[in-house]
Chains A and B, each alone.
Chain A
Amino acid sequence: MNPERLQNIKNQAISTILEAKSEKELEALRIEYLGRNGEMAKLIKSIPGLEPEVRKTMGSLINETKQIIEQAINAQKKNIQPQTGEQKDWFDFTVPGQKPPKGHLHLITTTIKEITEIFSGLGFKKVAYPEVEWDWYTFEGLNMPQNHPARDEWETFFVKDLIHPKYGSAVLTTHTSSGQLREMERAKKPPIRMLNIAKCYRRQIDASHAPMFYQFEGLVIDEGINITHLKGTLDYFVKQYFGPKRETRIRPFHFQFTEPSFEIDVTCIVCGGKGCNVCKEGWMELGGAGMVHPTVLKNGGIDPEKYTGFAFGWGVERLLMMKHKINDIRLLFNNELKFLEQF
Chain B
Amino acid sequence: MNIFIPDSWLKDYLKTETPAKEIARYLSLCSQSVERMKKIGDDWVYEIEITTNRPDCFSVYGIARELNAILPRFNLKTKLKTLSNLKPQISGLKETLPLEVKISKSSLCPRFTALIFDEVIIKPSPKIIQERLEKSGIRAINNVVDISNYLMLELGSPMHTFDYDKIKGNKMILRESADGEKITTLDNQDRELPEGTIIIEDGEGRIIDLCGIMGGENSQVDEKTKKVLLFIQTYNPVKIRQTCQKMAFRTDAASRFEKGVDPEGVLIAMNRAISLFKENCQAKISSQLIDFYSQPQKEKSVKLNLDLVKKIIGVEIPKKQVITILESLGFKLQKESNQQQAYLIPHWRFNDINIPEDLIEEIARIYGYSNLTSNLPPTANVMTTNNTFKWESRIKQALKFWGFYEVINYSMVSLELLNKTDFDNEDCIKIANPLSEEWVYMRPSLIPSLMENAAKNKKEKIRIFEMANIYLNMGKNQLPEENLTLSILVSGETFVSLKGIFESLMEDLGIKDYELSSYPLEKTAYGKIFHPSRRAEINIKGKTVGFIGESKKDFNQKFCLEEKIFILDLDIAAIIEMANEEKKYKPISKYPPIIEDLSFVIPEKTYLKDIVDLIKKTSLIIQTVDLIDIYEDSRTFRLTYQNQEKTLTDKEVAEIRKKIINNLQEKLKVKLKGSKG
Contact = CB atoms under 8 A, between A and B. Distances in A.
Contacts of B315: 228
Given A126-B386, A152-B52, A157-B434, A104 B408 contact: no
B674 interface: yes
Interface string A142-166: 0000010110110001111110110
- Residue among B313, B378, B382, B430 with max Cβ neighbours from chain A (10 Å): B382
A61 B31 contact: no
A103 B314 CA distance: 48
A235 B436 CA distance: 39
B406 A224 contact: no
B597 A127 contact: no
B563 to A, nearest CB: 15
Interface in A277-304: 280-281, 291, 293-294
Interface in B88-128: none
Given A231-B374, A263-B33, A337 B402 contact: no
A211 interface: yes
A170 B475 CA distance: 12
A28 interface: no
Contact of B357 (A106, A172, A291): A291
A212 B372 contact: no
A281 B406 CA distance: 37
B312 interface: yes
Interface stretch (A30-38, A80-88, A253-261): A253-261
Given A149-B241, A157-B431, A252-B369, 17 more contacts: A14-B597, A101-B463, A104-B400, A104-B405, A126-B386, A131-B469, A132-B471, A147-B242, A159-B432, A204-B435, A229-B377, A232-B373, A232-B374, A250-B370, A291-B357, A333-B410, A335-B409
Interface stretch (B268-276, B389-397, B530-538, B577-585): B389-397
A332 B408 contact: yes
**Which DSSP category, helix, strand, loop or mixed, fits chain B's interface?**
mixed
Nearest to B404: A103
A272 interface: no
Interface in B533-551: none
Contacts of A10: 596-597
Contact of A122 (B32, B52, B376, B384): B376
Interface in B307-335: 311-315
Given A227-B314, A341-B405, A160 B242 contact: no
Given A192-B382, A260-B357, A291-B312, A249 B597 contact: no
A18 interface: yes
Contacts of A201: 411-412
A208 interface: no
Contacts of B258: 149
- Residue among A100, A201, A336 with max Cβ neighbours from chain B (10 Å): A201
A14 B595 contact: yes
A116 to B, nearest CB: 7
B74 to A, nearest CB: 15
A233 B357 contact: no
A333 B471 CA distance: 19
A133 B377 contact: no
Interface string A75-107: 000000000000000000000000011111110
A7 interface: yes
A42 interface: no
Contacts of A116: 389
Given A4-B654, A149-B241, A228 B374 contact: yes
Interface in B587-613: 592-597
B227 to A, nearest CB: 36
A106 B405 CA distance: 8
